Amino acid sequence: MTKTDHELMVFKGFAEISGLDIDSGSIKSESPPLPDISCTVSGQKHFFELTRAVDQQIANDIGYVLSEGRKTGYTRNSKIHSYSDVEIITDAVTRKTAKQYETDRDKVDLLIYSDGIYHGRLNEAIIEEEVNKLREQYKDRWGTIWIYDHPKQKLLVKPCK
């Protein structure tokens, strides 16, 4: 599955449970400099930038283990690594905020999703306060910041709107 196909699958799952009036037939993958997804929400064009909640060290370790396995025919266990949900969410927002998008809209919504691949399940009790701080800090940049658990089909932190 390509990154584009994966993002479309994740976004369509999000669209079903978001509470937004998203026209499912309007969901479209975009290419830079546009954000990842465009769609119609309540009759208006809307953009979403997607990013996976990922601990970079875990992702790097898994990538290394898999790469070595392809080269040598055997794998080893990855290193044990502790992580912080708050740091992962903050890093995701910071990384995406640095990108520039060209749209006819003032703001783009940021959808951070967990799929359990490079990071365990996000703990909503731990991240809610931090997400609300980030929404306030970046209110001039993002329409809102969504946190979505794709396997559970659940919004982990509901928008403040």
Cα 39 to Cα 8, 30, 95, 103, distances in angstroms = 11, 10, 23, 13
pLDDT score of 158 more than 60: yes
Tokens of 98: 């640095």
Return phi, psi of residue 97, to 5°: -65, -30
Range of the domain at 109: 3-157
Higher pLDDT, 153 or 115: 153
Higher pLDDT, 102 or 124: 102
pLDDT score of 149 more than 70: yes
Write down the mean pLDDT value for the chain.
85
* Residue that has been written with the tokens 């080893």 in this structure: 76
The structural domain count of the chain equals 1
DSSP SS3 for 20: coil
Cβ neighbours around 27 below 10 Å, total = 17
Model pLDDT, residue 56: 64
- Each residue of 33-58: pLDDT tens digit? 999 999 999 999 999 999 988 766 65
